[in-house]
Structure 1
Amino acid sequence: MSKLLKIVGAFALFAWTAGGIAAWVATKDHVQVTLAEGKAEPGALDPVALLSDQVSTLQSDLRGLASALSENMGLMAQGMEGRSDEQAQALEALRAEVALVRAESSAAALPAAAMAAQDLGPITERLARVEQLMERVLTTSADAAERSRLAEEFAEAEAGRLAKEAQAKIEAAEAQAALSLAREQAVEEATAQAEAAAQALLGSTDTAAPAARKKGGFLSFKLPSDDFTFDKRQRFTVLGNLSRVGFDAKSTLHDFSGVSQSISGQFDVNLAQPGSGIEGELKVESKSLDTALAGRDEAMHDLMEADVYPTIDFVPTSFQADTVNAAEQKVTGKVSGKMTIHGIEKPVVMTVTGTIDESRRLVLEGETTLVMSDFEVKPPSKLGMISVEDDIRLWIALRARASDVPATTGN
């Protein structure tokens, strides 16, 4: 019985082993084991750093808003002080001038002859008195000849005097009419000016075209975050905590990526006219590249001799635009420059896209392909079985803040 049990057990073990081998043979061509590490995404950002920058922008806007409110409310207060007095004075002057115009216009409308007739009224009365005087002389003189002589002399003298007085009155009336006409014109001009001044104080004018004004009123503000012009040469400073630079590499075992946020630098460019030139420099700390595997990072840093060459440098030399959309504040094209890795400098062309985000930051994304052996960095290999490809995809995802380009000073 025991022998039988041993034989059955051995047979079962053999059958189990044979079945396992058969299953492996049947499925080995249908099962693939892949070891993959997550690739770094250029757009992935530290939410805390992003929030911090947005809060900083908001604080700057609030300070600008407070300053603008203080300044503009002060101007409004100054404008209101004495405004009612100025309006009252201007309107009173306007009323007086209009009344004067009406009075002078009515007087000037009378012909010179009519005014002379008005002024000759006293002369007519005087002539009547002369007639009475002459009649008395004639009736009281005994000598007719003497009466006649006296009457003639008196009449001649009185007539001459009256004629001169009348002539003076007429000339004065004519001069007064001319003066009134001139004054009427002067008053009309003064009235027009007074009306314009009064209406300007009231905020509108009907007698003249409105003067050119700046857009906006005392409640219009320009916040610091709005202080951005797309079509203008500006200096863009990289925000290291909101920027990422990395690479994607392939190996026989699995693909992997390296990422760094230790980025610094700045560049000057007019985004609307990138062909006008670009200047600046970007730096990445060599030892900051992280592939999420300590041993691999150490080997990579050794191959790059990071202690000797602590930075990876890029100096842009030209920006050739493919598309420029000023309305959408977007530009695409190719940035050419000099890349220095492991102390070796090589020309590089990177395809880029630049846009302005809601916080008025430049978001610059781009990529290119590098051959690491060109920089005398030998791709690692282990036992001839696990090796890294020589070509890598280099990408950037930068955020930068704009400022005015400092004026150059001559010696």
Structure 2
Amino acid sequence: MRSILPVAALLALAACSPQPSDKKAEAPPLVAAPPVAALKPPKADIPAGDYVLDKHHATLVFRVSHLGFSNYTAAFANFDAKLRFDQNNAAVSALEATIDPKSLTLPAPPEGFVEELTGPHWLNTATYPSITFHSTKVEVTGPDTGKVTGDLTLHGVTKPVVLDVTYNGGYAGHPMDPHARVGFSAKGTFKRSDFGIAYGVPAPGTTMGVSDEVQVQIEAEFTGPPLVAAPPAAS
């Protein structure tokens, strides 16, 4: 914001200056707003270390095609994650996540539908009470983007899955939130049949059923090391 103040002051002075009577006053030039990135806290101040999921600011949503007519959208309400984070050295960053499949949340489910999806034909939560993800590789693809490869264990089967991740920024903390905070958006796809959940997959060449492909979207904030207090002023 400091960079725009001198410009604003010059515009104010120009508006107050008398205009020549024989020349029509011209409108002051438009001043472009600072880019959104300039309004974010500086990333250079964000400490490396261990971060935990802020469950109040996290969502895990998945979509499957229903008959080819719509993308049926559902979510898991209970999940947790731990992040080892170093924005200057992505290779040493790592993520571990655990999902409670019994926390499946559906939009206006018909009677018994939740029990069906958590039952033997689908998630089979009685036999497989958790879903886990452990990262195995983190790659940088751009200034704020990357790919996180990890082992997804679902329905008792472990397979590699790749997430496309956007780093949304963060801060080192402030008095009202005295811990470092970082935020991410992520998305990925996998085939549920690879994990032994093939019930209802459409026959080849048709869409009559529920798609094999599952789309996952994640929004997550993590809190980390405590804010370092400013050093006392020299006496």
Could you tell me how far apart the structure 2 residues matched to 1:346 and 1:236 are? 25
Select 2:130's aligned residue among 307, 311, 320.
311
Matching residue's letter, 1:316: S
Pair 1:297-2:110 in alignment: no
- The TM-score with structure 2 as length reference comes to 0.65
Could you tell me how far apart the structure 1 residues matched to 2:151 and 2:58 are? 20
1:260 matched residue in structure 2: 76
Once the two structures are superposed, the pairs formed by residues 212-361 of structure 1 within 5 Å of their partners are 229-230=45-46, 232-252=47-67, 253-275=69-91, 277-292=92-107, 293-294=109-110, 295-302=112-119, 303-324=122-143, 331-357=144-170, 360-361=180-181
Offset at residue 307 of structure 1 (A) = 1.6
Pair 1:377-2:197 in alignment: yes
Compare relative contact order (CA 8 Å, sep 6+) and give the higher one, 1 or 2: 2
Could you tell me how far apart the structure 2 residues matched to 1:379 and 1:396 are? 25
Matching residue's letter, 1:350: L
Offset at residue 269 of structure 1 (A) = 2.1
Could you tell me how far apart the structure 2 residues matched to 1:315 and 1:344 are? 13
1:138 matched residue in structure 2: none
Change (3 A) 1:374 1:247: same
**Would the aligned equivalents of 1:257 and 1:291 in 2 still touch at CA under 8 Å?**
yes
Once the two structures are superposed, the pairs formed by residues 136-175 of structure 1 within 5 Å of their partners are none
Query: Between Structure 1 and Structure 2, how many residues are aligned?
Result: 170
**Would the aligned equivalents of 2:84 and 2:94 in 1 still touch at CA under 8 Å?**
yes
Matching residue's letter, 2:61: G
In structure 2, runs of 5+ residues without a counterpart are 1-41, 172-176, 227-235
**Would the aligned equivalents of 2:75 and 2:105 in 1 still touch at CA under 8 Å?**
yes
Could you tell me how far apart the structure 2 residues matched to 1:400 and 1:385 are? 39
Offset at residue 344 of structure 1 (A) = 0.6
Matching residue's letter, 2:62: F
Matching residue's letter, 2:194: D
Report the 3-state secondary structure (helix = DSSP H, G, I; strand = E; otherwise coil) of the residue aligned with 2:219: strand
Q: Which structure shows the higher strand fraction?
A: 2
Matching residue's letter, 1:300: L
Deviations 1:337-381 (A, max 9, x none): 110111110011110011234765211111111100000012437
Deviations 1:130-168 (A, max 9, x none): xxxxxxxxxxxxxxxxxxxxxxxxxxxxxxxxxxxxxxx
Matching residue's letter, 1:284: I
Change (3 A) 1:346 1:381: closer
Change (3 A) 1:385 1:315: closer
Pair 1:395-2:217 in alignment: yes
Matching residue's letter, 1:301: T
Could you tell me how far apart the structure 1 residues matched to 2:70 and 2:115 are? 18
**Would the aligned equivalents of 1:379 and 1:389 in 2 still touch at CA under 8 Å?**
no
Offset at residue 282 of structure 1 (A) = 0.5
Change (3 A) 1:396 1:238: same
Q: Which structure shows the higher helix fraction?
A: 1
- The TM-score with structure 1 as length reference comes to 0.38
Matching residue's letter, 2:148: V
CA RMSD of aligned residues (A): 2.7
Could you tell me how far apart the structure 1 residues matched to 2:186 and 2:207 are? 33
Could you tell me how far apart the structure 1 residues matched to 2:71 and 2:150 are? 28
Which structure: larger Rg? 1
2:28 matched residue in structure 1: none
**Would the aligned equivalents of 1:372 and 1:379 in 2 still touch at CA under 8 Å?**
no
**Would the aligned equivalents of 1:263 and 1:285 in 2 still touch at CA under 8 Å?**
yes
2:16 matched residue in structure 1: none
Aligned identity (percent) is 20
1:216 matched residue in structure 2: none
**Would the aligned equivalents of 1:235 and 1:269 in 2 still touch at CA under 8 Å?**
yes
**Would the aligned equivalents of 1:283 and 1:311 in 2 still touch at CA under 8 Å?**
yes
Change (3 A) 1:378 1:393: same
Could you tell me how far apart the structure 2 residues matched to 1:310 and 1:370 are? 20
Could you tell me how far apart the structure 2 residues matched to 1:369 and 1:322 are? 18
Report the 3-state secondary structure (helix = DSSP H, G, I; strand = E; otherwise coil) of the residue aligned with 1:397: strand
Report the 3-state secondary structure (helix = DSSP H, G, I; strand = E; otherwise coil) of the residue aligned with 2:66: coil
Could you tell me how far apart the structure 1 residues matched to 2:94 and 2:201 are? 38
In structure 1, runs of 5+ residues without a counterpart are 1-225, 325-330, 405-411
Offset at residue 287 of structure 1 (A) = 1.2
**Would the aligned equivalents of 1:241 and 1:261 in 2 still touch at CA under 8 Å?**
no
**Would the aligned equivalents of 1:266 and 1:281 in 2 still touch at CA under 8 Å?**
yes
Matching residue's letter, 1:391: E
